[in-house]
Amino acid sequence: MKKFISAKLAGNILLAALGVLFIFHILVVLGLIPADIVWGGQVKDAQANLVLLETIALLVTLLFIFIVAVKTGYTQGGHKLRFFKGGKAQFV
């Protein structure tokens, strides 16, 4: 099978997209982007509920950024845990 892009380039593209997503969620929390365009427009009244949901979204996004950074070799944080080696996470 022919490779169109390298794994390193794919990781860089993912990190850039996740970085933009992270900034987007920060802007929603700060109120610079209206909250009615996120979460299906369901969070309108409760600011505390919006902050909770956005905090969860930020944490999940950071987790994905960490995983992609480890897989592309930008961090050494995953040297004890090999992510998705053989279809599952394995401790080494």
Reading the chain (92 residues) residue by residue, the pLDDT tens digits are 678 888 889 999 999 999 999 999 999 999 898 888 887 777 766 777 888 889 999 999 999 999 898 888 888 765 555 555 555 554 44
Please, how many CA atoms are within 13 Å of residue 45, restricted to the half-sphere of its CB?
0
Give the pLDDT of residue 84.
53
Give the pLDDT of residue 72.
86
Decide if 4 contacts 47 (C-beta within 8 A).
no
Please count the other Cβ atoms lying within 10 Å of the Cβ belonging to residue 70: 18
Give the pLDDT of residue 51.
87
Give the pLDDT of residue 62.
95
Round to whole Å and give the CA distance between 6 and 31. Answer: 38
